[in-house]
Amino acid sequence: MKILHVNTNDTGGAAIAAKRLHLLLLKHGIESRMLFLKRSGKVKIPEVYYMEDLYGKIPFKLFDKLNTLYNRRFSFTKASVYFNGPDSLFDISKHPAFAWADVVHLHWVVKLLDWQSVFKHKDKKFVWTLHDMNPFTGGEHYKTGYKGEFGYASKRNIAVKKAAIQQDQIQVICPSEWLSDIARQSEVFSNQEVRTLRNPIDNSVFKVMDKVAMKTKHGLDPDKKNILFVAENPHDERKGFGLLMEALSHLNMSDFEVSVIGKETYVQNAIIDAHFFGTVNDEQKMAELYNAADVFVIPSLEDNLPNTVSEALLCGTAVSGMRIGGIKEMVTDGVNGYLSASPEGLGDAIFKTLSLNLSASDIRQIALKELEEKQLIGRFEKLYSSFT
């Protein structure tokens, strides 16, 4: 059984989830490879391949730019709207790793997957982990911020997707029941099997550590409550960064500290006296910073099940945020955090979470019911084996 994982970028949340699954499959003796579009220079793991290696350096750059225009040729009039179609000038079937594979496991494949060409390969079995809504929409990735700007393009894209897979059996995976329910009701995947499987996370890395020791190690005050926020892209309205700023403005910040992980230029003027850790790519350091936090806040207005929620809970750190998407499937009020049903209640949810006297070990054990590594890998292996 040979599994090829395909993802457009080799960085970002979807890439992290795909790489973790790939590494855990290798760890458990299952043949696995990864295929990305282009390299960032940050990936140092085995069995990784790139489409860009099929081209010369300059030809690839030109082709990559042309491909972006081709993908959005029906919706290029508003470049600011995040909207991508099912078309690509790249053909992953041309890469040797595709021929090698028994199962092609797609992840976030915008601008890399050409639906009309790839699904013609009937000798391959396809699994698809959805990291957002784009695979079954006309082009938008989430509903937040999208106002139906591209009606014609949307109808055309959905028609292309339906036609491309109408004779295929694709195993569709969603990390949250929330996204699974929406996918099952979509035009594109209504005839496909959709199941919920959490993204695997290395339980040996994201674990409970001594909170005081971690605060001291990373320059935080052990006597203050530490509020952690991960800011990959606060400019995205869906991520709710403005809600967090509003919520913090109502807390007595002399009793708290704020830690921010992410691109500092996005947030350095938004919070006074915050501890900025920049972009953290090292998982061990990330686990330490979760352990140094008394609450991890995720103020997203709409989301699937971010890796950060699962990581924090495995580290025994309570979570606070909005009662949306897959987040509400992992967080129970008073047990491992508090969630708010409205933006106005976010500050209260954070304060109530900080007031809880929770056992880090108990929070982790609850998370392991959903995220225990061997059980998850067993479920993926059973899925792959079911049609090979």
One digit per residue, the tens of pLDDT, for the chain of length 388 reads: 899 999 999 998 899 999 999 999 999 999 999 999 999 887 889 999 999 999 998 999 999 999 999 999 988 888 888 899 999 999 999 999 999 999 999 999 999 999 999 999 999 999 999 999 999 999 999 988 888 899 999 999 999 999 999 887 899 999 999 999 999 999 999 999 999 999 999 999 999 999 999 999 999 999 999 999 987 666 667 777 778 888 887 777 788 899 988 876 555 555 557 888 988 989 999 999 999 999 999 998 888 999 999 999 999 999 999 999 999 999 999 999 999 999 899 999 999 999 998 899 999 999 999 999 999 999 999 999 886 5
Percentage of the residues of the chain whose pLDDT score is greater than 70: 96
| Joined tokens for residue 216 | 């001291």
- Show the tokens assigned to 65: 């730019």
Q: Check if the beta carbon of residue 270 is closer than 8 Å to that of residue 234.
A: yes
Give pLDDT tens digits for 191-232: 999 999 999 999 999 999 999 999 999 999 999 999 999 876
pLDDT at residue 262, rounded to an integer: 82
What is the reported pTM? Answer: 0.92
pLDDT at 267: 59
pLDDT tens profile 106-158? 999 999 999 999 999 999 999 999 999 999 999 999 988 888 899 999 999 99
Domains of the chain in start order, with CATH, are: 2-202+372-385 (3.40.50.2000), 211-371 (3.40.50.2000)
Alpha helix positions (H), the chain: 13-27, 57-71, 96-100, 115-118, 151-165, 177-184, 211-217, 241-248, 264-267, 283-291, 307-314, 327-330, 346-355, 360-371, 373-385
Contact present, 2 and 103 (Cβ < 8 Å): yes
**Residues whose CB is less than 8 angstroms from the CB of residue 88 and which lie 6 or more positions away in sequence, other chains included:** 67, 70, 71, 111, 112, 113, 114
Task: Measure CA of the first residue to CA of the last residue in the chain; give whole Å.
Answer: 7
